[in-house]
Amino acid sequence: MSQKTFMERALELAHASSERGEVPVGAVLVDGRGKELAADGNRVEQYCDPVAHAEILVLRAGAEKLGTPRLTGCDLYVTLEPCPMCAQAISFARVRRLYFGAKDPKGGGVENGPRLYDQPTCNHHPEVYGGINEVRASRLLKNFFSARR
């Protein structure tokens, strides 16, 4: 599968999140051979859990599947720039590459906000590639929030 295909899958999961009443964010964790390890969307409302972000859910599932908390060699595809909490979890998990769709000027922690991976105290930072399918990811979020206002 290609980068584009994994981001397409993440967008499908984001759409499903939206249909459940969740903020539409989807994530896919891929091993070093290009095999999907875990995929999910936000489940904050469903689980009544403030940290049930898509990224956290797939990191947990991937770590459990591999039997290790370190996901070296794995890549993460997510439809929205990770928040600071998720960015730190990605660092702790030692994810190799982070691909994301829409930038998040208000809540992002990678290219916006604290820019976590640029901090000298950050022990591990993945390679970061933003803006993949950005228009579709942004539109999904805008439509979700417009419908609620």
Residues involved in catalysis: 55
Question: What span, in angstroms and rounded, lies between the C-alpha atoms of 125 and 113?
Answer: 16
How many angstroms separate the CA atoms of 9 and 1, rounded? Answer: 11
Per the DSSP assignment, residues forming a β-bridge with 41 are 26
* Residues 111 and 81 sit within 8 Å (Cβ to Cβ): yes
Continuous segment of H or E residues that includes residue 55:
helix 54-66
CA–CA dist 110, 98 (Å, integer): 10
